[in-house]
Amino acid sequence: MSNYKEERPWGTFENLFDTDYCKVKEIVIKTGGRPSYQYHYKRSEIWVIVQGEAVATLDEIETVYRKGEVVVVPVGTSHRIENRQEEDLKFIEIQTGTYFGEDDIVRLEDDYGREGTNE
């Protein structure tokens, strides 16, 4: 198990739990931040909103989620989460599947010039 916090242009994430059967992260999205619109070949994700309000896009459909609500992202689903509010958005991400490496990311759109595969 490895815990580390990593800065990104949109906020931060910290690995809380990392095994061969799942990975759990705490993710903070700053005001106006949004990670890339992406999908994964080998993992699904569950996002539990714990602070703020999220706009989640799943296969081009936007939905608003608030504290205590859950977003389910099946494997292969194009997805993005965004913070349009004045306070930080914080959520817990639970990944399940067969592989959890950062190189299982296919970026379709990215505000920070990182389109394509990998970090």
Q: What mean pLDDT do residues 56-62 have?
A: 98
pLDDT at 119: 47
pLDDT at 113: 86
Other CB atoms within 10 Å distance of the CB of residue 76 = 14
Q: What mean pLDDT do residues 35-54 have?
A: 98
pLDDT at 44: 98
119 or 65, greater pLDDT: 65
Weakest mean pLDDT among 2-16, 29-43, 72-86 = 2-16
Q: Of the candidates 48, 17, 13, 8, which has an alpha carbon nearest to the alpha carbon of residue 28?
A: 13
Strand-pairing partners, residue 5, are 14
* Residue-averaged pLDDT of the chain: 94
Alpha carbons within 13 angstroms on the beta-carbon side of residue 94 total 8
pLDDT at 40: 97
pLDDT at 115 over 60: yes
- Decide if 47 contacts 71 (C-beta within 8 A): yes
Q: CATH number of the domain at 5-106, out of 3.20.20.70, 3.40.50.2000, 3.40.190.10, 2.60.120.10? A: 2.60.120.10
Domain positions in the chain are 5-106
Other CB atoms within 10 Å distance of the CB of residue 2 = 7
CA dihedral over 105, 51, 5, 72, signed as positive or negative = negative
pLDDT at 1 over 60: no
Beta strands in the chain (DSSP E): 5-8, 11-18, 22-29, 37-39, 43-51, 53-58, 61-66, 70-73, 79-82, 89-97, 106-109, 116-117
